[in-house]
């Protein structure tokens, strides 16, 4: 993976930089020791590693601003980092850059039940927010599987989703405000404890911007009440086609389940061997449907889903009667990743999205590619929203195998785009999918996006080398290229 060229002059000035950063931050907030730096050299996409010059762990927004001002002045690149659970290399350090970690921004500042929101520093974990409001029946809806460790600031940067996002929305639909520091050190407060901030949708553009527009220091999130009850159904099908048909049937009947997950044969077997959740291992495809709401309503919906499933050749149905049973049904799905980790030295998790109706076609193609590449693939699928997670199994200690995996992964993502889908549903572009952006966007599309980057970070010092395949200067992007205008458009109707 090609990263922006390393500036040796900056590398050589490392001792001076350390001194200057230590003038802003207490000593214990600056990591320079080689061994300690190792913990920061990668995120959850461990195939890529790079040790940064240093890691700064500021404790206040003012310190963040001072560090950024300094780096801006010295033209030092900055990589923001939350918990480092990015699966696309979004938090991958740069050799001549610093990592700015938000680990010390770990306080919940305000739990405001009356306005139904929580204000948290950006390093607070996703789960901690729900835990802070749980005693009154509230929670923060987006629930990435990494929620125990990933930070709310990271969630905003990645626009993270979770199993419940079909019904309850992604991060972007659940946040109300942020405090953010731009690369030039300007502190911005956008939105707050109210809906619809004035002007253009700044929150909308910052959410999902992968740390390229600013360092988020504080987030105001919306909290909602938990449903009265939730029950899960485990449905086994004779084919992926039948399973896909069932999911389409549920949704077109007007039911929006709290979660709809699908697993293929390989994933089912691996998970069952690993955690014995009682999954029917002879089924080629499984669907988990969670329904929530009022008790009577959920019972009614379960009846409807059962009927739809029966019309789609369902061969096995389990319905949770207790909370423990619901948890068991989910346990198998949640174990899918660790289970595959158990049977293979390494796995690589892809994140494409497809129109759901293309599922059988895509799974067949993936199987064919799997044969061609000689690499095994298991598929788990957020079936409600078409977000496919093929897991490619491999052994990184075999020379050349990682490269083969990357090619296979890229082929899968190209396939997703080809059938009308997109490159990434929730893991982000990062470095991983950066060079595939052209499969979705042409040069003009990308340039307009890069102009937005220029609005926030005109010198491009924040997280460069991520998302965009080509780095461009803002001055060049700003130039107005005048296309010839042919007057007087004889063929355009007037009114």
Partner 1 sequence: MSERFLPETEQQALELVRWAVAGNKTIAIQGENTKQGFGLLAETDCMVSMRNLAGIVEYHPEELVMQALPGTPVEEIKQELNKHDQRLEFEPLNLGRMYQTGGEGTIGGVFSGNLAGPRRFKAGSARDHILGIKAINGRGETCKSGGKVIKNVSGYDMSKLIAGSWGTLSVITEVTFKVLPAPAASATLAVQGLSTEQGLKLLATVLSTPCETSGLAYLPAPALAAIEPGEEPVPQDTGSPPGKGDSGGSQGERDGKLLFPDESMTLIRLEGTELSVNERIQTLRKLLPGDRKNSILNQADTTLLWSKIRDVAPLHDVHRTPAILKISTPPTAVPGLTRFLDQSGGCTWYLDAAGSWLWVGVCQAATADKLNSIKREVSISGGNATLYRAPDAVKKNTGIYSFPDSSIKNLNEKIKNSFDPGNIFNPDRLYSL
Ligand X SMILES: Cc1cc2nc3c(=O)[nH]c(=O)nc-3n(C[C@H](O)[C@H](O)[C@H](O)COP(=O)(O)OP(=O)(O)OC[C@H]3O[C@@H](n4cnc5c(N)ncnc54)[C@H](O)[C@@H]3O)c2cc1C
- Contact set with ligand X (CB under 6 A): 43-44, 79-87, 90-91, 102, 122, 144-146, 150-151, 153-155, 157-158, 160-162, 210-211, 215-216, 426-427, 463
Contact pick of 68, 79, 202, 383 for partner 1 (by CB under 8 A) = 202
The number of beta carbons lying within 10 Å of the beta carbon of residue 470 is 12
Strand 30-31 relative to strand 352-353, pairing: unpaired
**Residue 33 or 418 having the CB closest to partner 1:** 418
State yes or no: residue 228 binds partner 1 (CB under 8 A).
Answer: yes
Residue that has been written with the tokens 């929203």 in this structure? 385
Q: What is the DSSP string of 227-245?
A: PSEEEEEEEEESSHHHHHH
HSE, CB side, 13 Å, CA atoms: give it for residue 364. Answer: 7
**Residue 29 or 353 having the CB closest to partner 1:** 353
**Residue 113 or 327 having the CB closest to partner 1:** 113
State yes or no: residue 68 binds partner 1 (CB under 8 A).
Answer: no
CA-CA distance, 285 to 85, in Å (whole number)? 29
State yes or no: residue 455 binds partner 1 (CB under 8 A).
Answer: yes
CA-CA distance, 241 to 443, in Å (whole number)? 37
Task: Find the part of the chain contacting partner 1 (CB under 8 A) among 6-14, 156-164, 257-265, 318-326.
Answer: 156-164
218 contacts which partner out of partner 1, ligand X, none, CB within 5 to 8 A by kind?
Answer: none
Q: At closest approach, how far in Å is the CB of 337 from ligand X?
A: 6
With beta carbons less than 8 A apart as the criterion, state whether 223 and 184 touch: no
Run of H or E residues at 110: strand 108-112
Contact pick of 322, 397, 484, 490 for partner 1 (by CB under 8 A) = 484
Q: Taking CB under 8 A as the criterion, which residues in 135-154 touch partner 1?
A: 136-138
State yes or no: residue 134 binds partner 1 (CB under 8 A).
Answer: no
Q: Taking CB under 8 A as the criterion, which residues in 159-178 touch partner 1?
A: 159, 161, 165-166, 169-170, 172-173
Q: At closest approach, how far in Å is the CB of 63 from partner 1?
A: 19
User: Of 315, 319, 316, which Cα lies nearest the Cα of 329?
Assistant: 319
Q: Taking CB under 8 A as the criterion, which residues in 88-117 touch partner 1?
A: 112-116
Question: Residue 35 pairs with which residues in a beta bridge?
Answer: none
Q: Which residues contact 76 (CB under 8 A, 6 or more apart)?
A: 10, 17, 53, 70, 96, 97, 98, 461
Task: Find the part of the chain contacting partner 1 (CB under 8 A) among 26-34, 141-149, 204-212, 305-313.
Answer: 204-212
Q: Taking CB under 8 A as the criterion, which residues in 257-316 touch partner 1?
A: 293-297, 300-301
Q: Which residue blocks in 136-200 are alpha helix, DSSP H?
A: 152-158, 165-168
193 contacts which partner out of partner 1, ligand X, none, CB within 5 to 8 A by kind?
Answer: partner 1
**Residue 66 or 245 having the CB closest to partner 1:** 245
With beta carbons less than 8 A apart as the criterion, state whether 236 and 187 touch: no
Residue 120 — left, alpha, or beta (φ > 0 → left; ψ -120 to 50 → alpha)? Answer: beta
240 contacts which partner out of ligand X, partner 1, none, CB within 5 to 8 A by kind?
Answer: none
Residue that has been written with the tokens 């461990």 in this structure? 46
Q: At closest approach, how far in Å is the CB of 431 from ligand X?
A: 9
State yes or no: residue 465 binds partner 1 (CB under 8 A).
Answer: no
**Residue 275 or 298 having the CB closest to ligand X:** 275
CA-CA distance, 237 to 241, in Å (whole number)? 9
**Residue 13 or 299 having the CB closest to partner 1:** 299
**Residue 44 or 242 having the CB closest to ligand X:** 44
CA-CA distance, 195 to 193, in Å (whole number)? 7
């Amino acid at each position: 993976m090609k990263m922006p060229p390393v500036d040796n002059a900056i590398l050589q000035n490392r001792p001076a930089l350390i001194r200057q950063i230590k003038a802003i931050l207490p000593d214990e907030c600056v990591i320079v020791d080689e061994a300690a730096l190792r913990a920061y050299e990668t995120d959850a996409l461990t195939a890529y590693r790079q040790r940064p010059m240093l890691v700064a762990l500021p404790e206040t927004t003012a310190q963040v601003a001072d560090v950024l001002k300094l780096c801006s002045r010295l033209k030092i690149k900055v990589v923001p980092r939350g918990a480092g659970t990015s699966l696309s290399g979004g938090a991958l350090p740069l050799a001549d850059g610093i990592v700015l970690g938000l680990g010390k921004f770990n306080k919940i500042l305000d739990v405001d039940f009356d306005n139904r929101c929580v204000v948290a520093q950006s390093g607070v974990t996703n789960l901690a927010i729900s835990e802070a409001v749980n005693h009154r029946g509230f929670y923060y809806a987006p629930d990435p599987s990494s929620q125990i460790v990933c930070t709310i600031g990271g969630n905003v940067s990645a626009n993270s989703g979770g199993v419940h996002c079909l019904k309850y929305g992604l991060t972007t639909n659940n946040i109300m405000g942020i405090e953010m520091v731009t690369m030039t050190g300007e502190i911005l407060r956008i939105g707050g404890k109210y809906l619809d901030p004035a002007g253009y949708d700044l929150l909308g553009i910052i959410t999902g911007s992968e740390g390229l527009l600013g360092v988020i220091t504080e987030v105001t999130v919306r909290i909602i009440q938990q449903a009265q009850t939730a029950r899960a159904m485990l449905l086994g099908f004779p084919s992926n086609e039948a399973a896909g048909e069932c999911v389409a049937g549920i949704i077109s009947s007007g039911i929006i389940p709290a979660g709809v997950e699908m697993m293929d044969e390989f994933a089912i077997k691996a998970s069952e061997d690993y955690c014995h959740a009682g999954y029917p291992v002879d089924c080629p495809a499984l669907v988990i449907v969670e329904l929530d709401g009022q008790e009577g309503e959920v019972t009614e919906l379960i009846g409807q889903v059962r009927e739809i499933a029966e019309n789609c050749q369902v061969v096995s149905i389990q319905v949770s009667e207790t909370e423990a049973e619901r948890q068991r049904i989910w346990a198998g799905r949640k174990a899918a990743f660790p289970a595959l980790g158990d049977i293979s030295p390494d796995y690589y998790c892809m994140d494409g999205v497809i129109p759901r109706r293309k599922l059988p076609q895509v799974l067949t193609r993936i199987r064919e590619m799997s044969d061609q590449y000689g690499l095994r693939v298991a598929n788990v699928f957020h079936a409600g929203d078409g977000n496919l997670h093929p897991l490619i199994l491999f052994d990184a200690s075999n020379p050349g195998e990682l490269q083969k995996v990357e090619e296979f992964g890229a082929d899968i993502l190209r396939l997703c785009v080809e059938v009308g889908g997109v490159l990434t549903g929730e893991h982000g572009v990062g470095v991983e999918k950066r060079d595939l952006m052209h499969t979705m966007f042409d040069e003009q599309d990308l340039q307009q996006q890069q102009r937005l980057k220029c609005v926030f970070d005109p010198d491009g010092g924040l997280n460069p080398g991520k998302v965009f395949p080509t780095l461009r200067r803002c001055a060049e992007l700003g130039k107005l290229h005048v296309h010839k205008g042919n007057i007087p458009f004889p063929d355009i109707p007037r009114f």
